[in-house]
Every structure is written in C-alpha cells, then in structure tokens.
Structure 1
Amino acid sequence: MDWDKLRIFHAVADAGSLTHAGDTLHLSQSAVSRQIRALEESLNTTLFHRHARGLILTEQGELLFDATSSMLKRIDAATARIRDSEEEVFGELRVTTTTGFGSLWLAPRLPKLYEKYPDLNIDLMLEERVLDLPMREADVAIRMKEPSQADLIRKRLMHIRMRLYASPDYLAQNGAPESVDEMYQHRLICQNTRSAQVHAGMSLVQELMTHDIGSTLTVNNYFGVLQAVISNLGIGVLPDYIIEDFPSVVRVLPDVESVEVPVFLAYPEELRQSKRIAAFRDFVQDEIIAYRRTMRAKEEA
C-alpha cells in the first residue's frame, strides 16, 4: 500500500477537511482529493462520508485511521531514538503528569532544566487521564501510582500525603479547629469526589464529609484548591508537596492526613537510551533529593 496515500489519508481524517489537510501537507485540494479517491479505489471501499460540515470517517475509514495512527506513533518513537545525540540533549520531550503536581511542583522547577539544556523543548501535558506511553502519547510520565502498562521502566521518586491547610489570615479571623468535630465552624475546600484524583485524597475527603462541615467549596484540581486557601476562603485538602514553595500556608489538624501516595516516574523501554529522558530523569531526581532535604530541615526545626 502506498505510504504517501496513507499519509495524506491520515492528514485528511485528522483535519476533517480536504482543504485544511492540503494546507498542512502543502498540497492543493484537488491533489489531496485525487489521492484519497485513488486510495478508496485500491481498497474498494469508501473511507469518508462527505457532507456540508466536512468529512466523517466511515467504519472502514475508522479502522484505517487507527492503523495509520499506530504507524505514525511508532515512526515518532523511532525518529526520537535516531535523533537522540550521544553528547547533546535537544529536541521535544513530552511530559505528562497530574494538574496539581505539574503546576505546583514541577513547572516552578523547570527553569533549572532549561538553564542546563537550553535546546530542550518540553511539552508539559497536565491531566488526570493516564496517557499510553508505549503508544507514544507521551515520552515520560510522573504519576501518583505505579504504572500498570507493560514495557515501561519505572522508578519510585517519593511519597506524598494529603493534609489540611489554611492561610494565617483565615485562621486569625476564624480560629483554628482543635478537632475534626469543630470543622462545622469552617468551610472545607477540596476536590470534588466525582473528579479524577488519587484514591487517598478522595478517601480523606469522604471521611471528613462524615463529620458536620460548615460549608464546602469543591474544585476539580489542587491548583484551584490552593488558590482558594490563599484567598482565605477556608481550610483546604492539599498534597504536602506544596509546603516548600508556599510556606505561608499553615497546616491544620496535624493528626489528620491520608495514607501515603507513591510518586513514580515512568518511560517506555524503547527510550532507555534517550539522552532527553536521562536528562529529565536526573533533573527530577536531583530536585526530589533537594525537596526531601528541605522537608527534613523543616521537620527538625
């Protein structure tokens, strides 16, 4: 089967338009249309439903699009391995992690990585959905549980816990609860238990909700919870890794916390020799060591 035709088919399916695909491929609409027609004739099938709003894949087209998507991801993986220099770190590195960890812990530390490797381009994908690393949806992941996908290299980085925090101004105005039973006097800020999150955080919130709570503010990520806490809206359930970068928040009810949540770094086995992966892995490990050292010093103070 002609790869050029498959490449053009994939671009059309992705864009949903002959014109937009032609712009991406630097081909005229008529040239793209001829290639699609030739591909349909060679397969003796219809790949697109054509209507005023654009092009929609037929069932046969969906099957072919799945195949070309897999092919392109494998080509991307091979290209990444080929382009990895033995001496230099450069090019794109797609990193996925949760919204909270990525925005509150990882992103503030990335200037150090860019300072060391100015030719590295990070594509930071923050979402709770677990991306498929072997299928090249991302190059490396930092996740709050051990990845279950096969053919991955995994490294446990640290563990975190969900705890209760408030701003000094909020506590000065409203007082600090001495037990969970006194939470009826306060507003609890937390992730909605229906939103995607680590199970330990959800369990802690569910346990708190069994008590009499004054009022609640729910947000779908920890960045929003932190902003609400800083804005003096109440007492928030937050991961303990925020403390180093936000020392103004104060821990409330120190006996209340979640179970340990492991943090793992993972990447595909086929990228074992990648210089970009190695640079990012070493950077994260160094930052984790510095983070642990800071936390120990604060606990001993």
Structure 2
Amino acid sequence: MDWDKLRIFHAVAEAGSFTHAGETLHLSQSAVSRQISALEESLQLPLFHRHARGLLLTEQGELLYQTAHEVFAKLAMTEAMLADTKSKPTGEIKVSATVGVGSNWLTPRIREFIDLYPDITVNLILADRELDLAMREADVAIRLREPVQPDLIMRKLMTVKHHLYASTEYIQKNGTPKSLEDLVDRKILVYGEEAPSSIASVNWILDMLKEVDENIQPIFKVNNVYGLLLAIQSGLGIGSLPDYITQGHKGIVRVLPELEGPEFDAYYVYPEELRNSKRVTIFRDFLIRKVSESVF
C-alpha cells in the first residue's frame, strides 16, 4: 500500500472532502481526488461514498481509516519522543483546553512561555469537548474534571470557584444587591441547557432564587462561559462565573461575595507515553508557576 496515498486518504477521511483535505495538504482538489481514486483502484475497493454534500467512508474505508489513524497517532508520538532526545526543548506541543480556560486564562500567558522557550511551538486547541489524548488529538490537556482514563497522568493545577458578577455600569444603574432576596427583581443571566459542563449545579444561583420565588426566570441564557462573561460585562445583568475567567477584565465586580457557587478542580493531563517528554514537563511546570501567581 502506497504510503503517500495512505497519508492523503487519512487527511480526506478527517476533512470529509477533497477540497478541505487539499487545503491541509497544500494540494489541489483534483490531485487529491486522483490519489484517492488510484488507492481505491489498487485495493479494488471503494473507500468513500461520494455525494453533493461531501464524502462518507464506506465500511471498508472505515476499517482502513481506523488502522491509519492508529498508525499516524503512533508516528506522532514517536516524533515527539525523538524531538525530546535533543538537549534543547524544541518542536510543537499541542494543548487542549476549554474555550473559557484557554481563551481567558491560558492565552494571555502563552507569550511568556514562548519568550522562555522560543524553539517550542504551542498549538492551542479550544474545544469544550474532551479530545482523545491516547489517539494523539492533543499532547496535553487542561481538564475541568478528574480524568477517568487509566492511561493518563494528571496533576492538579487549581481549584476553581464560582461567584456572582456584574458590570460596574449595571451596579451604578441598579444599585448593589445586599441579599439573595434583592436578586429576585434583578436581571439574571444563566447557562443554557446545551452548555457543556461537568458541574451538575452550574446554574446554582437560579436554583437558590427559585426557593425565594418559584416563578423567577432568567432574562438570558448562553451555552458558553465566555459568552456569559461578555453578556455580564456589557451590563445586561448578574450571573455566575468561575473566578479565573474574570482576571484581566475591567468593569466587572463580584456581587454578594458571601454567596459561593460550586467548585471543581482543574487538572493538567497527558498520556503515559509522554511522561518523560521535556516539552510536556516544561509546560506543566510553567502552568503550575502561573497558577501560583494568580489570585482567584
């Protein structure tokens, strides 16, 4: 089986189209299509169902993709291990983080890491779903819950707490609430039902307010913590945020600080195979130091 054709097949299966795979591989759509057709001809099997909306793997194509994906994952792991045999840390580290942690807490600190280790490239993937580290979708991850996979190494980074926040503009216009009962007549912002979260009581403030007034309804829902931050910062109302996300954002203040929402631990996670990776340990130690410097 031609190795180059297999690489192109894997890219097409990942992208779902010849065009998008070509953009990734820096090849024309026609060149990619010809390579796939040649691979199918050599195997005497169809690998894709072709239709106007894109490509779908056939049963045989799915079998080949799973094998190819494992091979490329192992090659990526080997490449990382070879890079770490050099005396000076170099190469790429692929980091998975949630949108909230990655965009608000981690990204502003990446410049310092790059200044310290200019030969390391950080590839940050922001996604609220958990990427499969064992299959090399990322090298390391910052997870907002303890991982359950047995083959992953974890290091606790911090405990994240939730409090109520509002913009200074909102407080100046509506006054500072003094008690839980004062919130009943305020505009309450919450997470939508589709919000990805491992916290069962993410809308804890709404649960508390319903005990005061069972008819209370939020004025706004959003399925993303960064969207909620921007809504609060705009002066729309009061809502619960993890404390880390408010750092560096002006015009936002904590409301009723004695009310504490749920808390959870955040972890630095990586596969067992990367235990001795210099890039992984350097990045881990950097994050631990930055957490110690943060005030949550």
TMscore range, shorter length: 0.7 to 0.9
State the distance in 1 between where 2:100 and 2:176 align: 25
User: Which structure 1 segments of 5+ residues have no match?
Assistant: 296-301
Amino acid at match of 1:230: Q
State the distance in 2 between where 1:214 and 1:131 align: 35
Aligned to 1:250, which of 235, 250, 253?
253
TM-score, normalisation: structure 1: 0.85
Q: Which residue of 1 aligns with 2:189?
A: 189
Whether 1:37 and 2:41 are equivalent positions in the alignment is yes
Amino acid at match of 1:95: V
State the distance in 2 between where 1:4 and 1:249 align: 53
User: Which structure 2 segments of 5+ residues have no match?
Assistant: none
CA contact (8 A) 1:9 1:36 kept: no
Indicate the larger mover: 151-160 or 25-34.
25-34
1:236 match: secondary structure:
strand
Matches within 5 A, 1:64-143: 64-143=64-143
- Segments of 4+ moved more than 6 angstroms: none
State the distance in 1 between where 2:226 and 2:171 align: 20
TM-score, normalisation: structure 2: 0.86
Q: Do the aligned partners of residues 288 and 22 (structure 1) sit closer, same or farther apart at CA in structure 2, a change above 3 Å counting? A: closer
- Cα shift at 1:282: 1.0
Amino acid at match of 1:236: G
- Cα shift at 1:18: 6.1
Q: Which residue of 2 aligns with 1:174?
A: 174
State the distance in 2 between where 1:88 and 1:138 align: 22
- Cα shift at 1:287: 0.3
Aligned to 1:277, which of 277, 280, 284?
280
Question: How many pairs were matched up?
Answer: 289
Q: Which string of whole-angstrom CA distances, capped at 9 and with x for unpartnered residues, describes residues 36-76 of structure 1?
A: 2112x3xxx43233456664321121121122112111111
Indicate the larger mover: 222-231 or 247-256.
247-256
Q: Which residue of 1 aligns with 2:155?
A: 155
Q: Which string of whole-angstrom CA distances, capped at 9 and with x for unpartnered residues, describes residues 55-104 of structure 1?
A: 43211211211221121111111111112244222222111111111111
Amino acid at match of 1:235: I
CA contact (8 A) 1:143 1:264 kept: yes
Matches within 5 A, 1:258-269: 258-269=261-272
Root-mean-square deviation over aligned CA pairs: 2.6
State the distance in 1 between where 2:100 and 2:264 align: 14
